[in-house]
A = this chain, B = another copy of it.
Amino acid sequence: MNIGTAARRSALPAKTIRYYEEIGLLRPARAGNGYRDYSGDDVHRLKFLQRARGLGFSVEECRQLLSLYGDTHRASADVKALAATKLNQIEHKIAELQSLKKTLTHLVQTCHGDARPDCPILDELSGASD
């Protein structure tokens, strides 16, 4: 099938699919007219990528996952380790964002937000407490 169809089936933009090919994540066949020709397996791979990227795995991690996926003898522990690491990173990121949220919430609440020129948010950013 052509790239447009593969794009629809995998829920990935055609541009992204070409990019994934460029960085070696898949190698679709070519039809006689030079068009890329995607097999069901290729689409499967693309969906896998779409899901894994959506779960926050980096492209390099996706590459690892794909190779683990392709390796019928891999241990599930390897995959679990990768997922656990990613989970940790995500938790870390959440904690970080929650701390940002707390600070910003405080700032927004403190700011009277009218036409007056004094603003606690800028005061804080400018280091009024230094």
Q: Tally chain A residues at the interface, Cβ within 8 Å.
A: 53
A75 to B51, CA, bound (A): 45
The chain B residue with its CB closest to the CB of A87 is: B104
The distance in angstroms between the C-alpha atoms of A119 and B80, with both chains bound, is 8
Interface of A: prevailing SS: helix
User: Within the oligomer, what is the number of copies of this chain?
Assistant: 2
In the complex, what residues of B have CB within 8 A of residue A121's CB? 76, 79-80, 83
Contact with B along A92-122 (1 / 0, CB 8 A): 0110011011011101100111111111111
Q: Are A115 and B77 in contact (CB under 8 A)?
A: yes
**A111 in contact with B47 (CB, 8 Å):** no
Q: Does A127 contact B (CB under 8 A)?
A: yes
Whether the pair A101, B111 counts as a contact (CB closer than 8 A) is no
| A binding-site residues for B, Cβ under 8 Å | 44, 47-48, 51-52, 55-56, 65, 68-69, 72-77, 79-81, 83-84, 86-87, 90-91, 93-94, 97-98, 100-101, 103-105, 107-108, 111-122, 124-127, 130
